[in-house]
Structure 1
Amino acid sequence: MRRSILFSLLFTLVAGIALAQRGVWWSRPTETTKRNGVPDWEVDPNFPGDLFTFVRIKYNSYGGRGGGGGWATDYRDSDLNFSLRLQQLTSLKVNPEPIVLELTDDRLFDYPFIYIIEPGSLVFSQAEVAALRQYCLNGGFLMVDDFWGDSQYENMRRELKRVFPDRDPVEVPLAHEIFHNVYDLKEKPQVPAINAARRNMAGEIGSWERASDGSDTSTPHYRAINDDEGRIMVFICHNTDLGDGWEREGENQWYFEEFSVKKAYPMGINIVTYAMTH
């Protein structure tokens, strides 16, 4: 992993924490652009490598064991919106163009943060297993998001066990700094897909999400695989869909206020903050 990138990102991110804590949520512009309404911004051409780039992982193998979607779920609005909010709410210098890579791409090691979505039926090739192990043990950070129920989790757990035979995911307690380093979260956030979000007559907020295997999805789980120093290198967001909170922010004001603003973006920013400072 390139130290110059990590040092620059660390410096700018720490400088921007105060701005994020003030909770300045910018409104969406109304004009339509090639970026689906997400504004572009200038980057310093003299430092093209000193940018945080959101990297989505494309996986080709798909075993069909646990159900769910695929690597392109919520693409590309989710990645654009999250990049925009990082640019606005922290002092990170963010690439306005998120990218898609395969785990076997040599460029993977140029980026300290990668994202996998909908892994309920993902099956890594042996080459992907080797590449992901090397990436994480060399200092890279993997975020896994948007899968529901026991069978989808078991599929992901099985595949990660191939990557790290000597390590197991552990539940991350709410007291861990990843829930408090920028936004002080009072609970582990659960973000449903926009069509599964609910509010009952008493005003209580929740989710109608159901697992294909009928297992309970009422409790969000945040699990981690740690390195030898106890630092998170794989962060697993289960029974929640942070990506939909990013993607769908402009579609419904209530969903935006309750799930994007209060849950999806704070948790995402906390995760990136942790990844860039450890």
Structure 2
Amino acid sequence: MRLRTFALLIVTVIVIAADGAAQGRRGGRFGMPLRLPENPSYDGGFQFCRIMFRNSGYGDGNGWYVDWPRADINLSYRLSELTTLPVSRTTKGEYEHILLRLTDKELFKCPFVMMTEPGGAYFDEEEASRLRDYLLKGGFLWADDFWGEYAWTAWVTELRKALPSGQYPIRDLELDHPIFHMLYEVRKFPQIPSIGFWMGTGGETSERYGDSAVPHARAVTDADGRMIVLMTHNTDFGDAFEREDNRAYFDRFASEGYAFGVNAVLYAMTH
């Protein structure tokens, strides 16, 4: 159902990172603590679970921490504001967000996990096996923010360690797929650049220029047809969530970024 028009997102800029920066000990980005698996309560509500991974020597990506923690917090806030999905909070009322390695046993407590800049990722045999087990037992991975054919090839090389191509084909998602219509009608798949690229180029959106001109939503399904991996290539939804502090960027990209982001989480949590 349509709870309210998405224009609500443009009314108020909420910088939730300030809320997170006040939490406890330092040690993470923006002074955020590394919220590792021993801390959360796993109360059954939505918790943004982010995968920490090692970078390969041949890939194209800056690391797991890109857009962390503000994207994690802000998307959780929008889900609580715009949907009826239960969203977990800490005892202090802050939105729960968790960092996990693929080898952590708590991985299986997260029905939804996200990776950013996966074009640089490296999986060893154990990590690939755990990812496969997680996905085939009901988990859902969203891999976002990797640009150009080199990053795509590097990511697929690692993904195929877990999900061999003969059994788990990759397909493009057409706009009639239910993920584009869960709560908001997404009629065009958006290309969202990082704020630095957008501002530095005077408004360009393709971070690898001709090599990333077309954004793609792609998926891997299991034997029963259930989507287990969502891949958003040549676009950066994480920055659309993270950068609520810049009004010009927010006005340009937040509406379409959150429309698809909310849809993606709702799809993952209900399929």
TM-score, L = length of structure 2: 0.83
Aligned residue runs from structure 1 range 160-239, under 5 A = 160-165=159-164, 166-197=167-198, 206-210=204-208, 216-239=211-234
Q: Deviations over 1:222-262 (max 9, x none)?
A: 110001121211000100000011111222x221122112x
Partners of 1:31 and 1:219 lie apart in 2 by 31
Structure 2 residue identity aligned to 1:35: G
Q: Secondary structure at the match of 2:128?
A: helix
Q: Which sections of structure 1, spanning at least 5 residues, go unmatched?
A: 1-16, 39-46
What amino acid does structure 2 have at the position aligned with 1:173? E
- Distance change (3 Å), C-alpha of 1:258 and 1:30: closer
What is the rounded CA distance, in whole Å, between the counterparts of 2:123 and 2:266 in structure 1?
28
Aligned CA RMSD, in angstroms, stands at: 2.5
SS in 2 for 1:18: coil
Match of 1:243 in 2: 238
What is the TM-score when the length of structure 1 is the normalising length?
Answer: 0.81
Contact kept? 2:17, 2:73, Cα under 8 Å: no
Q: How far apart in 2 are the matches of 1:209 and 1:124?
A: 25
Query: Is the Cα–Cα contact under 8 Å of residues 31 and 37 in structure 1 kept in the other structure?
Result: no
Residue 140 (structure 1) shift: 0.6
Structure-2 residue corresponding to 1:3:
none
Which whole-Å deviations, capped at 9, do the CAs of 1:44-101 have from their partners, x for residues lacking one? xxx96121000000013x2131322000011111111111111111111212121101
Provide, for residues 128-174 of structure 1, a one-character-per-residue CA deviation record: whole Å limited to 9, x for no partner. 10111011101110000000000100011111111111212111111
| Paired residue type of 1:220 | P
- Structure 1 CA distance for aligned equivalents of residues 13 and 22 of structure 2: 7
Figure out how many residues of one structure are paired with residues of the other and give that number.
245
Contact 1:29 1:37 in 2 (8 A): no
1:63 to 35, 49, 56: 56
How far did residue 32 of structure 1 move?
Answer: 8.2
1:101-120 to structure 2, matched below 5 A, reads: 101-120=100-119
8 Å CA contact retained: 1:141, 1:275: yes
**Code of the aligned partner of 1:18:** R
- The question of 1:24 aligning with 2:8 is answered yes
CA distance in 2 between counterparts of 1:107 and 1:48 reads: 9
* Distance apart, 1:104 and its partner CA: 0.8
Q: Which range moved further: 99-108 or 165-174?
A: 165-174
**Residue aligning to 2:138:** 139
Q: Does 1:130 align with 2:129?
A: yes
1:196 shift after superposition:
2.3
The DSSP-based 3-state class of the residue aligned with 2:212 is coil
Residue 90 (str. 1) matches residue 89 (str. 2): no
Give the 3-state SS of the residue equivalent to 1:135 in structure 2: helix
User: Post-superposition shift, 1:119?
Assistant: 1.1
Structure 2: gaps (5+ residues): 24-40, 89-94
- Deviation at residue 216 of structure 1 after TM alignment: 1.3
Within a 5 Å distance, the mapping from 1:262-273 to structure 2 comes to 263-273=256-266
Q: For the residues of structure 2 that align with 1:210 and 1:29, how far apart are their CA atoms?
A: 30
Change (3 A) 1:195 1:208: farther
**Secondary structure of 2:122's aligned partner:** coil
